Amino acid sequence: MNNFTNFFTKIFQKNFLSNSLKNFLGIKRPTLKRWEYGVTYEIFVKSFADSNQDGIGDLNGVIQKLPYLADLGVQALWLMPISPSPSYHKYDVTDFYAIHTEYGTMADFRKLVKEAHKKGIKIMIDLVLNHTSHQHAWFLDACNNPNSIYTDFYIWNTPENIAKLGENRTASADADNLKIWHEVAGKQEKYYALFSYNMPDLNYDNLALRQEIFKIGKFWIQEIGIDGFRLDAAKHIFENNRETDNHNWWIEFKNEMQKCNPNVYLVGEVWDSAQKVAPYLKGIRAMFNFDMSEAIFKTIWNEKESALLHQHLKNLELFRFYNPDYLNAIFLTNHDQNRIASALEGHQDKIKLAASILLTLSGSPYIYYGEELGMFGKKPDECIREPFIWGNPKFQTTWIRAKFSTADKIKSLAEQIADPNSVYHHYKKLIHLRNNSEILTYGELLAVDLKNEALLAFLRIYEGKTLLVIHNLSWQEQFFILPTSLKGFKHIYFSNHKVEMKEKIKIPSYTTLVLKME
């Protein structure tokens, strides 16, 4: 083992990972709750499963599909917004304390939480706190009542605010979506809305608003029993370079939520570089890693390892600096990005390879519904949120006519279950592999250089136990000899294609090989 220790130390030094080698010898993190490190499944309820044949996915549909999700191996669900809203996507909320009627009732949601918990599945909901709908009661009162107590819940074009936030980006009548100040009929003042006229931004300098937001969060945790929130647009709570105010707000929010549940799970969306993301970890323990999403795609697309592992390890050290108990939320794509299958032009082996890389990296993996089928989707947003293809008309949603994920392009779940070589079975095998391995679930990661840019290789280490992961990124089979320090990895723990363990190992194209020691 001396050779292995020396090799380990050299890798450690090369990657500048920490001041202490013991951090990478598998020492347990401060809190280890398996579901937080397990696979979370993102659901757009409208497109998932229809329980009453009205063409629209609903909460009862999710309940009916809990056995499928449990069998797949996911340990938590993230539901995109479920509150009342005038839009199809529901990111402009009119009532933070209710369920949209097309999705069901609050009783349905309570039942979903209860039934999911019975199966060991946690529930998170999308919490949209940057803005409300322009049809929210607060905003309507602010616009129509000169003495409204809600006026200061929003941001108006006072000279001071214009100085801080700027004038309209454009005055063009055909580019209203690029404006930031918007008119109200019969009112002289304009309101600030960063994303769209129908999403007026909230004013977090108002302390009364903050108290209302705390009440909303505590309602869902205390009264309904959910396990956590996905925090939308987390870097836009305060605008115009008020990053420190953003960081401090989320610390305050976390502290308030922990008063009713010390273990509440918060995962934040800050679509930016790791350097911008990292400070938010002081308040939001889990943050989506958009750098890694891009790096995984580029690595697979280019069929060579360039900076993926370097980027990953550099990010982890940065995150650890801000919060030693951080959770690195890794993913391929989400509801705002072209689906990974479309980005990879439908290449089935590369689609499987993307899953293999995601589910063997360190972190907390997120899967977007339908990724396990290889569903397609490209912008506009409606087309990356198309109906899940069950292969059973009883559950099929039809609210939108699919353009990309159609029956002639994607095999349904029913068809893929019958095909042992399907994308679905590949995802299921990898998820269960991870679930059944503490090393893959909790382990730290160290890069391994096999002197071949077509091979992505790394160690996963936990409590002194180690796995060696090797991905062939290339369309060609690759040959390699393990360095002397790694000769102890002789046994195949997992491989999605046949590999013979000889002195010179041949790994087929787009194959993942996981080796364990004697």
Mean pLDDT of 190-210: 96
Is 178's pLDDT higher than 60? yes
Model confidence band, residue 6 (pLDDT cutoffs 50, 70, 90) = very low
Model confidence band, residue 34 (pLDDT cutoffs 50, 70, 90) = confident
The yes or no reply on domain 2-28+440-517 and CATH 2.60.40.1180 is yes
What is residue 15's predicted lDDT score, i.e. its pLDDT?
Answer: 40
Determine what percent of the chain is predicted with pLDDT higher than 90.
Answer: 83
What is residue 177's predicted lDDT score, i.e. its pLDDT?
Answer: 60
Contacts of 508 (CB under 8 A, 6+ apart): 472, 477, 497, 498, 499
CATH superfamily for domain 34-130+203-435: Glycosidases (3.20.20.80)
Is 160's pLDDT higher than 50? yes
What is the rounded CA–CA span in Å between residue 50 and residue 398?
A: 9
Tokens standing for 118?
Answer: 């019975």
What is residue 260's predicted lDDT score, i.e. its pLDDT?
Answer: 94
Burial (0-12, 13-18, 19+ Cβ within 10 Å), 77 = buried
On the CB side of 463, how many CA atoms lie within 13 Å of its CA? 8
What is residue 185's predicted lDDT score, i.e. its pLDDT?
Answer: 87
pLDDT tens digits, one per residue of 244-254: 999 999 999 99
Model confidence band, residue 163 (pLDDT cutoffs 50, 70, 90) = confident
What is residue 47's predicted lDDT score, i.e. its pLDDT?
Answer: 98
What is residue 179's predicted lDDT score, i.e. its pLDDT?
Answer: 86
Mean pLDDT of 203-226: 98
Mean pLDDT of 433-440: 96
Determine what percent of the chain is predicted with pLDDT higher than 70.
Answer: 92
Domain ranges across the chain: 2-28+440-517, 34-130+203-435, 137-192
pLDDT tens digits, one per residue of 88-142: 999 999 999 999 999 999 999 999 999 999 999 999 999 999 999 999 999 999 9
Model confidence band, residue 175 (pLDDT cutoffs 50, 70, 90) = low
Is 13's pLDDT higher than 50? no
What is the rounded CA–CA span in Å between residue 426 and residue 428?
A: 5
Is 188's pLDDT higher than 90? no
- CATH code reported for the domain at 137-192: 3.90.400
Q: Is-cis flag, bond preceding 380, omega within 30?
A: yes
Is 174's pLDDT higher than 90? no
Catalytic residue among 126, 227, 269, 372: 269
What is residue 22's predicted lDDT score, i.e. its pLDDT?
Answer: 41
What is residue 176's predicted lDDT score, i.e. its pLDDT?
Answer: 56
Pure H helices in 155-304: 159-165, 207-218, 243-258, 274-277, 290-302
Mean pLDDT of 70-97: 98
pLDDT tens digits, one per residue of 441-496: 999 999 999 999 999 999 999 999 999 999 999 999 999 999 999 999 989 999 99
Determine whether 453 is an active site residue.
Answer: no
Determine whether 381 is an active site residue.
Answer: no
Model confidence band, residue 27 (pLDDT cutoffs 50, 70, 90) = very low
Is 23's pLDDT higher than 90? no
Going by C-alpha positions, the residue among 473, 307, 457, 285 that lies closest to residue 363 is 285
Contacts of 491 (CB under 8 A, 6+ apart): 501, 515, 516, 517, 518
Is 11's pLDDT higher than 60? no
Model confidence band, residue 30 (pLDDT cutoffs 50, 70, 90) = very low
Q: Which residue is associated with the tokens 């795609």?
A: 297
Catalytic residue among 102, 212, 232, 243: 232
pLDDT tens digits, one per residue of 335-372: 999 999 999 999 999 999 999 999 999 999 999 999 99
Burial (0-12, 13-18, 19+ Cβ within 10 Å), 477 = middle
Is 235's pLDDT higher than 60? yes
pLDDT tens digits, one per residue of 279-325: 999 999 999 999 999 999 999 999 998 788 988 898 999 999 999 99
Is 510's pLDDT higher than 90? yes
User: Contact at 8 Å (CB) between 377 and 383?
Assistant: yes
**Mean of all residue pLDDT scores within the chain:** 91
What is residue 170's predicted lDDT score, i.e. its pLDDT?
Answer: 59
Is 28's pLDDT higher than 90? no
pLDDT tens digits, one per residue of 392-409: 999 999 999 999 999 999
What is residue 312's predicted lDDT score, i.e. its pLDDT?
Answer: 87
